Amino acid sequence: MRCCTTAMWYSLGMEVPAVIERISELLDGGGLETSNTSMRIPTALRDAAALAVRELGVAPSATALTTAALRAALEAVVMQAVLDDHYEHHPRARPDLGDLAIAAAELDGHPLAAEPGRLRQAAAEIARNHPGASPDDVLLWAEARALPAA
C-alpha cells in the first residue's frame, strides 16, 4: 500500500521520523480507551463486513474488523514511510528491478531463483523497453527467453 510519499510527509510540517514515531506511539499505546466516531462508509462495504463477521467469523464484530483493518493500514503506511525516508537518505540502498525479481522468485519458490544472473539480465533487458516493469514481468521474460525456439 503506497498512500503517502516522503515528500508528502515533509509537506505536512513534520519530519518523517517524528511522524513515524508519533503514529507508532499511538498504535503501541492504544490501551482500552475508545472514542465514539461518526464514520460514513459505503453501504456495500458495511454489509460485506457484517456478512464476513456473521458467516465467516473473521472478527468478533464489524467494528473490530474495521479497527483491525485500520491498524493494518496505518502499520503499512508507517513501514512505507520508513522505507521512503531511508531511500531518500540512502538512494543506493534501493533495490533495483533485478533485486526485486530475485526476491520475488525466492519468495515464490520459482526455479529461476537459483539463477540470479539470468534474472538480472532479463531485468536489464525488459527495463530498457518497459520502465514500469514489475518483478513478475521480469520472471515471465526470463521464462520466455528460456523456451526453445519453435
CA-wise closest residue to 78 among 7, 11, 18, 13 = 18
Least confident range from 40-44, 47-51, 53-57, 82-86: namely 82-86
- At residue 2, the pLDDT reads 40
- For residues 106, 107, 111 and 114, what is the CA-based torsion angle, rounded to 10 degrees? 10
Kindly tell me if the per-residue pLDDT of 148 is higher than 90: no
CB 122, CB 115: distance < 8 Å: no
Higher pLDDT, 148 or 22: 22
pLDDT tens digits, 35-45: 888 889 999 99
Q: What is the pTM of this model?
A: 0.67
- At residue 70, the pLDDT reads 94
CA distance 7 to 85: 9
CB 24, CB 75: distance < 8 Å: no
* pLDDT over 70, % of the chain: 89
- At residue 3, the pLDDT reads 47
Higher pLDDT, 87 or 15: 87
Mean pLDDT of all residues in the chain? 88
